[in-house]
């Protein structure tokens, strides 16, 4: 982010505020050169978001895959759709608030865990048991195929 006054290319963020939707972030910045203070507004569109896997490959963030991963963590236990939908939205808000693009698959996994922990301990344990090994929601889904 260049300073609008002197165009120096290094600024310090000293305050960050994110709207309740998690989709708009305002940052107060100060130029490290001329000390000019200014505000930037960042709006992240979920469809622009990329997820970087451990192998460096980048894939488009998929709400559907996120939901599938969360559903798998419930592993055939009854769970109401509203609960899943709320979890998905909460994770997406956290993902957007992280303001990283690409965001690492590890970070996404941690955000899923953070939200699962609040809602369902068993699903949390199921997800976290796989977490160290999975590299993407896809890999995760493969790991936790429902037992027959």
Q: Which is nearer to Zn ion, 5 or 17 (CB)?
A: 5
Pair type for strands 103-104 and 50-52: parallel
- The Cα–Cα gap between 131 and 136 comes to 9
Task: Name the minimum Å distance from CB 6 to Zn ion.
Answer: 3
Q: Where are the beta strands (DSSP E) in the chain?
A: 11-18, 24-31, 37-43, 50-52, 58-60, 103-104
Q: Which is nearer to Zn ion, 36 or 83 (CB)?
A: 36
Q: Which is nearer to Zn ion, 38 or 131 (CB)?
A: 38
Task: Name the minimum Å distance from CB 11 to Zn ion.
Answer: 8
Binding site for Zn ion (CB under 5 A): 3, 5-6, 8, 31, 33-34, 36
For residue 65, the tally of other CB atoms under 10 A from its CB is 18
Task: Name the minimum Å distance from CB 24 to Zn ion.
Answer: 24
């Amino acid at each position: 982010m260049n300073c609008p006054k002197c165009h120096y290319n290094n600024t310090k963020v000293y305050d960050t505020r994110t709207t309740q939707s998690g989709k708009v972030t305002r940052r107060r910045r100060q130029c490290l050169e001329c000390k000019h203070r200014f505000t930037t507004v960042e709006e992240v569109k979920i469809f622009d978001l990329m997820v970087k896997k451990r192998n460096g490959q980048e894939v488009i963030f998929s709400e559907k895959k996120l939901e599938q991963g969360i559903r798998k963590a419930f592993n055939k236990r009854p769970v109401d759709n509203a609960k899943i939908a709320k979890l998905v939205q909460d994770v997406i808000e956290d993902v957007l608030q992280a303001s990283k693009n690409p965001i690492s698959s590890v970070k996404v996994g941690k955000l899923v865990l953070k939200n699962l922990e609040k809602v369902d301990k068993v699903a949390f344990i199921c997800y976290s048991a796989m977490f160290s090994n999975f590299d993407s929601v896809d890999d995760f889904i493969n790991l936790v195929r429902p037992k027959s």
